[in-house]
């Protein structure tokens, strides 16, 4: 094990962190302007963070999802969402797109997933979901690289 302390990228280069936060805010604005709600935003943030294994972002976005009215059932089955009937067609399209952007499958799979997403999302919604997933992936990478801690909450 290394004796070096972790470098918190957000603290070491705060201007870069502020720029990433600006991107995150613009992605959220785009979602809202496209008629997509904050509950879906948080659902996507959670799913992207699950795929990437970002404990810090999961801790934050699961709490935010619950505050936005997300149910424990939907959060519990989110890793297996394709095997459930608890998500709408629009949510399934957004999840498909966010997952594709996160895992970057082969070109044929990406084309199929894009076609599915385009059936249920307008151009504006498709773009907004894409930017949200891109931003969340960047946040995950900063937190994972920095090894941001997740500590027990009191109470």
pLDDT for 137 beyond 90: yes
Say which residue the tokens 């629009």 belong to: 90
pLDDT for 1 beyond 90: no
pLDDT score of 155? 76
The full set of domains in the chain, from first to last, is 40-78+86-146 (1.20.1290.10)
Please state, for a pLDDT cut of 70, what percent of the chain lies above it. 97
Please state, for a pLDDT cut of 90, what percent of the chain lies above it. 94
Average pLDDT of 26-36? Answer: 98
Query: Residues 65-111: pLDDT tens digits?
Result: 999 999 999 999 999 999 999 999 999 999 999 999 999 999 999 99
- Alpha carbon distances (Å) from 9 to 40, 50, 59, 137, 139: 28, 21, 19, 15, 11
Contact 135, 20 (CB under 8 A): yes
pLDDT score of 66? 98
pTM of the model: 0.95
């Amino acid at each position: 094990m290394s004796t070096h302390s972790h470098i918190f990228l957000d603290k070491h280069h705060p201007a870069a962190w502020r720029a990433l936060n600006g991107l995150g805010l613009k992605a959220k604005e785009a979602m809202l302007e496209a008629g997509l709600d904050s509950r879906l935003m948080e659902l996507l943030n959670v799913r992207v963070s699950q795929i990437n294994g970002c404990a810090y972002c999961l801790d934050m976005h699961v709490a935010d999802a619950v505050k936005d009215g997300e149910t424990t059932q939907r959060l519990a089955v989110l890793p297996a969402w394709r095997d459930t009937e608890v998500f709408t067609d629009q949510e399934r399209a957004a999840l498909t797109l966010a997952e594709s952007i996160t895992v970057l499958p082969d070109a044929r799979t990406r084309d199929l997933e894009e076609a599915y997403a385009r059936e249920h999302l307008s151009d504006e919604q498709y773009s907004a979901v894409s930017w949200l997933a891109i931003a969340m992936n960047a946040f995950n990478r900063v937190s994972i690289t920095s090894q941001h801690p997740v500590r027990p909450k009191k109470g």
